[in-house]
Chains A and B, each alone.
Chain A
Amino acid sequence: MSATGSEAYPLPQPTTFTRPFWEACQNRQLGVAVCRNCGHRFMPGAPNCPQCWSGDPDFQSVSGRGEVVSFAVYRRTYHPAIPAPYVVALVQLEEGPRMISNIVECAPEAVAIGIRVEVCFQSEAGFLLPRFVPVGTGSTDPSISSPART
């Protein structure tokens, strides 16, 4: 199950729905789709609000702050341009939506569920990707960090 294909970095392929997100990243801005009708914030972008099915969603910048919902430490390299080890995380943004990203600028051992993180933008093949760095510790959202059995 070694990595296959080209050595080129597997960059995102923006679509009509995800282009606003990736273009904002190139300006070092993190943003999410927002429903003009019900206010639901969501990602990735879609033709409709996935909550109320209203069309023509808006796109708004968000704080770039969030919490780690879960994370996985890749010890095996799947793509030659992304050598292991690295941390893939599910990050819950302060504004609600969850996104897959990386936790960077810290050892994998320092990552934990519930830690607070902040977006940073790192270039891969000239394309800016939104990644996250830890900022202090301590979750405020019990649905993320607390054992459900309390």
Chain B
Amino acid sequence: MTRKAVIGGIGHTEFGRFPERTAFDLEVEAARRAVEDAGLRPDEVDGLITDPGPAQGILDGITPHYLALGQYLGIDPAYAGSDILGGASSAAIVQRAVLAVEAGLCSVCLCVYGDSALSSPGSFGYGRGDDAAFGLFGAVGLHALAARRHMHRWGTTSGQLAEVAIAARAHAMRTPHAQKRQPLTLKQYQAADSIVEPLNRHDCCLVSDGAAAVLVVSSDRAADLRHMPTRILGHGQASSLSTWSSPGHFDTLPAARCGPEAFARAGVSTADVDVAMLYDCFTIVVLMQLEDYGFCERGEAGAFVAEGRIGPGGSFPVNPSGGLLAEGYGGGMMHIIEAVRQLRGIAGERQLDAPEIALVTGHGLGMNTHSTLILAA
């Protein structure tokens, strides 16, 4: 029988500002919680793949992140590595874990994201190579270029971007561990300081200290798991590495390529998606993904999100945990964890009505990378 991979455990820390804790401290806690959640023993972990957060990278120029974390965890895995795809890394490392487990390289693969970005000033405000000479700092500048084009080409309004931010904060009010649990009004959104026009403070995700982990397990261990396993129906990954000098770079994401591939592998369609966990580092990225995945026609995402459609109680809830904009910056791993919670039916006050299919996305670097997971109860 072919080995299938499932998600067997989830775990995470609180998200917020914890200057007294290192990223490794947070990551070890998340890893321990994920293994406990699965009901497995630490010595059964035989795979480790990590998503080092933006503040970490390669630690000292020599030591890769997984090596240091594996040392702290005291494990000797059969399969190990780190992937650096920016915000696409979390879903990408889970994809890699699925491939490794299904190929028989390991059976219990720990996937860990962690960072202490809030306690590491400037970690998101870095210059972009030589383009720093022109003041291009932070991911926000590139996303502002994309937002400006979307507004210009399609008439998308700041009020439509606001819908994404307002929905995220409304969702997060029902997420006990969320970093921002206060509602956001349109008036507050409009009054906020601009960061890089056309994006203001509320268009930008939170910065957090925190860690999250997912345990990818071979289905032949399903009987040993404490909770109902989450199936992985499909996965995909695509990158656009030919730089932003390429035509169309700021108009579409690699999601337009790997999204349809992932759905084809899963044997389901966008119409089957009950819960959409869309990577939301900036509001504009949610709109672009709605188009790139085909939830609406190109140029119509602004109208798609209007009138609370993606908020709590809306007809197409996006990121019921609040996502990066309100739950906290959890790489993309917290998006996966919320999908698992929704599919298990343990999301508490924010639980959707028996969702069966979840889409999880990751998006990273200079809008260069994208990853897709399609999960099922």
B133 lies within 8 A of A10 (CB): yes
| Residues on the B chain within 8 Å of A74, using CB | 135, 137, 141, 196
Nearest-CB distance from B353 to chain A (Å)? 35
Question: Does the CB pair B134–A129 fall under 8 Å?
Answer: yes
Interface residues of A in 105-150 (CB under 8 A from B): 108, 113, 124, 129, 131, 143, 147-149
A12 to B134, CA, bound (A): 9
Interface 1/0 per residue, B111-154 and A, CB below 8 Å: 00000000001101101101111111110010011101100111
Contacts of A149 in B (CB 8 A): 153-154, 299
Q: Which of A4, A12, A70, A99 contacts B146 (CB 8 A)?
A: A70
Closest-by-CB residue of B relative to A11 is B133
In the bound complex, CA of A43 to CA of B299 (Å): 29
Does the CB pair B136–A76 fall under 8 Å? no
**Is there a chain A Cβ closer than 8 Å to B250's Cβ?**
yes
Q: Given A102-B134, A149-B154, A75 and B197 touching (CB < 8 A)?
A: yes
Name the distance in Å between A87's Cβ and chain B's nearest Cβ: 9
Q: Interface extent on B, as a size class?
A: 35 or more
Q: Which of B241-249, B312-320, B333-341 contacts A (4 or more CB under 8 A)?
A: B241-249
Minimum Cβ distance to chain A for residue B128 (Å): 8
Residues of A within 8 A of B194 (CB): 73, 75-76
Which residues of chain A from 32 to 76 have a CB within 8 Å of any chain B CB?
42-44, 50, 69-76
Contact of B245 among A42, A88, A108, A124 (CB under 8 A): A42
Give Cα A124 to B243, complex, Å: 25
- Residue interface mask A77-104, B partner, CB < 8 A = 1: 0110010001010100000011111100
On chain B, the residues within 8 Å of A76 by CB distance are: 193-196
Q: Chain A residues with Cβ under 8 A from B130's Cβ?
A: 12-13, 18, 44
Which of B143-182 touch A at CB < 8 Å? 144-146, 148-149, 152-155
Q: How far is the CB of B296 from chain A (nearest CB, A)?
A: 13
B207 at the interface (CB under 8 A from A): yes
How far is it, in angstroms, between the C-alpha of A24 and the C-alpha of B355 when the chains are bound?
59
Provided the pairs A1-B122, A73-B196, A75-B193 are in contact, do residues A100 and B137 lie with their beta carbons within 8 angstroms? no
Chain A: interface residue total (CB-CB under 8 A): 44
User: B298 in the interface, Cβ–Cβ < 8 Å?
Assistant: yes
Per-position contact with A for B192-224: 1 when CB-CB < 8 Å, else 0? 011111100000000100000000000000000
Alpha-carbon separation in the docked complex, A5 to B122 (Å): 9
Find out whether the CB atom of A71 lies under 8 angstroms from the CB atom of B145.
yes
Give the chain A neighbours of B298 by CB distance below 8 A: 148
A88 close to B127 (CB less than 8 A): no
State the CA gap A147–B299 with chains docked (Å): 10
CB nearest to A130 among chain B residues: B134
10 nearest A-B pairs in the assembled complex, by CB-CB distance: A78-B137, A72-B144, A73-B197, A12-B130, A4-B122, A98-B245, A75-B194, A70-B145, A10-B132, A82-B135
- Given A73-B194, A73-B196, A74-B196, 18 new contacts (CB under 8 A): A1-B122, A1-B138, A4-B122, A12-B133, A44-B130, A70-B146, A71-B145, A72-B144, A74-B141, A88-B135, A88-B196, A90-B244, A100-B131, A102-B134, A108-B197, A129-B133, A129-B134, A147-B154
